[in-house]
Amino acid sequence: MTKFTDLTLPEPILRAARDLGFEKPTPVQALTIPWLLENNSDLIALAQTGTGKTAAFGFPLLSNTDIESKSVQSLILCPTRELCLQITKDLQAYAKYLPRVKMVAVYGGAPIYKQKEALLAGAHIVVGTPGRVNDMIRQNVLHLQEVNQLVLDEADEMLNMGFKDELFEIMSHIPESKQTLLFSATMPKDVEHLANSFMKGATRLSAGGEDKGAENIEHFFYKVQARDKYLALKRIADMSPKIYGIIFCRTRNETQDIANKLQQDGYNADALHGDLSQAQRELVMQRFRSKYVQLLVATDVAARGLDVDDLSHIINYHIPTDPDIYIHRSGRTGRAGKSGISISIMHSKEAGALKAVEKRLGREITWQKVPGGREICQKQLFHFIDSVEKVEVDEEQIGTFLSNVYKKLSWMTREELIQRFVAVEFNRFLNYYKDIPDLDNPVQAKRQEAKKDFKFSTFRLNLGSKHGLTKRDLMRYVNQLKVSRGIEIGQINIFGDYCLIELDSNYESELLQAFVSNKYKGVTVEASVGKAPKTQHSSKDDWKERRKTKKIDDYVDHDTTYYGRNIWEGTPKKGKDKPGFKGKKKIAPDSKTKRKKTP
Ligand code: ADP
Ligand code: MG
């Protein structure tokens, strides 16, 4: 394992890294730092969010800075002011023992004159958002003729935010000979295009592939009616009394609205969005960082640059239509070896987006039933009792008050006492959650539940495309066997002279019998069961395999679940009517938790 000391970094930087508690380089640092110390050609580095990209470029940048020069030598561009401040702060920490290196942050939404003054006083490294950087160039306070290193941090996000033209504009002021470093968590087409436009023969380094969402993140979705989303959100939060997470909303209005409602309902929640002043935003972020605020309701843009490492939950109030955004969001939990939970609260029209995200993640997102009142009360009660067990009691202080209390309560038994004391804390909660309705569509919920431990057997039949067999024909044929109502059909693959079809393994022998005694269009059917019945497709590899067998799409509507269909329901339904994606149910997120607020 590489150590920082192996990286031929200057001693002051090594010392700063030690002060920061950086013991060894992260994978992206181990790859890029030595490379950057040796090369001055262009670089594209891909690594997940939270993997230490700032130091990956920051350490070499600082090592290369010529403090005798008075010109700007490095320009770091990033999408938001929060990120800009964050990077500057990080670089300052890395340069703790290099006090003569001057850094200036230039970003919108703050008075320009101070930043101008700072630039005029001289800077070796400028960290900026594209719009403000261009302003500074136009106003002739930022001169980039001597820049030899340009960093595009979070390039994907800069393009998402529409900074393409600004970037090209800035580029035209920087010498051709510069070294360009592009850092990104994802590499969508437009970033590829950007890289091709102004980077030449760039080396690509990828630390553990692109941002696919760390393995230690669990992904769940809940499916409710659009109007029930807020209720579902509350129940999810109540199910995890120790929740510490970000709820992502689409618009500033929605963000504020949800935060207001949560606050009114007694949650530690606050909103972070672009309508707030810089000072307000900073206050909110500070309250969130210190965990005074447990639930931060935010837009994507506003949440950028909020460097919080130990989020327990990411909640998508709507599943994003761009899978990269989903990955970015969920990448904010499960960091630093901790586990995380990424939740999407969906209504049926968002199913297409879910599929796109699953494809991008390379794994299934698991359906979860919206917690019911009983479950939530149990969880909260347990949490409450747990905190009673753990509370510190200052016997000396409290003891002086207690003798009268003991006397007053002496007529009660221990059990009565416990009952009352739980009731005091808990009655409002119980009342709220008494008889609350199920938020899941009952039909879908039943179907999803049934699929939890479902097993398919793979049948091989001597019928194939040469018999004119289509998937629809095959479904019909199986349907006509009338072995039992509600047999689940899994994946179907049709080849030249045979086909494979997955069917409910509970009916294996009956189905085999029925196949061989029912001709198909005059053909005597031979049937066998292939592999041992396998469990529900859930492992990552299995899922990838499934994705490769695209053929099934000929049969079903593109947006339709193609296995686990109840064949007695007739032809697959389209769009919003389609059955939810099935998945294995997992235990509810978070089990030992706190919150005593009543909803
Ligand atoms: P990214 O830009 O890839 O999202 P950051 O550079 O913001 O990630 O780093 C994420 C967190 O990891 C920061 O809190 C940073 O201080 C910390 N970090 C960076 N490098 C190391 C390291 N080598 N060892 C321990 N922590 C690190
Ligand atoms: Mg970063």
CATH number at residue 362: 3.40.50.300
Q: Mean pLDDT, to the nearest integer, of 508-536?
A: 79
Do 110 and 136 share a domain, yes or no?
Answer: yes
Q: Ligand nearest 2 Cα, by number?
A: 1
Ligand 1 contact via 32 beta carbon (within 6 Å): no
Instruction: Tell the residue nearest (CA) to atom 9 of ligand 1.
Output: 52
CA of residue 271 to ligand 1 center, whole Å: 25
**Ramachandran angles phi, psi of 293, nearest 5°:** -100, 125
Within a domain: 558? yes
403 pLDDT band, cuts 50/70/90, is confident
CB burial of residue 118 (10 Å; 0-12, 13-18, 19+): middle
Do 273 and 412 share a domain, yes or no?
Answer: no
Give Cα 60 to chain centroid, integer Å. 30
Among 181, 206, 231, which residue terminates a domain? Answer: 206
Tell me 529's DSSP state. E
Distance CA 578, CA 247 (A): 27
Contacts (Cβ under 8 Å, ≥6 apart) of 135: 112
The string of pLDDT tens digits covering residues 421-458 is 888 878 877 888 877 888 887 776 776 666 656 678 88
Distance CA 24, CA 2 (A): 7
Among 155, 174, 206, which residue terminates a domain? Answer: 206
The string of pLDDT tens digits covering residues 94-135 is 999 999 999 999 999 889 999 999 999 999 999 999 999 999
Do 264 and 360 share a domain, yes or no?
Answer: yes
CB–CB of 217/303 below 8 Å?
no
Distance CA 206, CA 151 (A): 16
Pick the closest to residue 235 from 345, 117, 337 (CA basis): 345
Q: Ligand nearest 335 Cα, by number?
A: 1
Within a domain: 304? yes
Within a domain: 212? no
Nearest atom in ligand 1 to the alpha carbon of residue 56 is: 6
Nearest atom in ligand 1 to the alpha carbon of residue 185 is: 3
**Ramachandran angles phi, psi of 292, nearest 5°:** -65, -40
Contacts (Cβ under 8 Å, ≥6 apart) of 245: 294, 295, 296, 311, 312, 313, 314, 315, 333
Do 346 and 412 share a domain, yes or no?
Answer: no
Angle at which helices 81-94 and 278-289 cross, to 10°: 60
Global confidence as pTM: 0.49
Do 503 and 516 share a domain, yes or no?
Answer: yes
CA of residue 50 to ligand 1 center, whole Å: 6
**Ramachandran angles phi, psi of 343, nearest 5°:** -120, 140
Do 525 and 550 share a domain, yes or no?
Answer: no
Query: How many domains does the chain contain in total?
Result: 5
Ligand 1 contact via 304 beta carbon (within 6 Å): no
Q: Ligand nearest 152 Cα, by number?
A: 2
- Indicate the average pLDDT of the chain: 82
Do 15 and 103 share a domain, yes or no?
Answer: yes
**Ramachandran angles phi, psi of 465, nearest 5°:** -65, -25
Ligand 1 contact via 51 beta carbon (within 6 Å): yes
**SS3 assignment, position 238:** helix
Q: Ligand nearest 14 Cα, by number?
A: 1
Contacts (Cβ under 8 Å, ≥6 apart) of 364: 219, 358, 537, 538, 543, 581, 583
Residue 31 or residue 258, greater confidence: 258
Do 83 and 175 share a domain, yes or no?
Answer: yes
Do 471 and 562 share a domain, yes or no?
Answer: no
Within a domain: 58? yes
Per-residue tokens: 590:
């978070």
Beta strands 455-461; 534-535: pairing state: antiparallel
CB–CB of 118/37 below 8 Å?
no
DSSP letter string over 125-181? Answer: EEEE-HHHHHHHHHTT----TT--EEEETTHHHHHHTT-HHHHHHHHTTS-TTSEEE
CA of residue 24 to ligand 2 center, whole Å: 18
Do 334 and 311 share a domain, yes or no?
Answer: yes
Q: Mean pLDDT, to the nearest integer, of 230-258?
A: 93
Q: Mean pLDDT, to the nearest integer, of 224-247?
A: 92
Within a domain: 279? yes
**Ramachandran angles phi, psi of 327, nearest 5°:** -60, -45
Residues forming beta bridges with residue 269, ordered by sequence position: 295
The CATH code of the domain that includes 502 is: 3.30.70.330
Q: Mean pLDDT, to the nearest integer, of 317-330?
A: 88
Which pLDDT score is estimated for 142? Answer: 96
Range of the domain at 322: 217-373
Which pLDDT score is estimated for 147? Answer: 96
**Best probe residue, ligand 1, of 1, 9, 210, 307 (max atoms within 8 Å of C-beta):** 307
Within a domain: 354? yes
CA of residue 84 to ligand 2 center, whole Å: 10
Do 14 and 162 share a domain, yes or no?
Answer: yes
Which pLDDT score is estimated for 547? Answer: 39
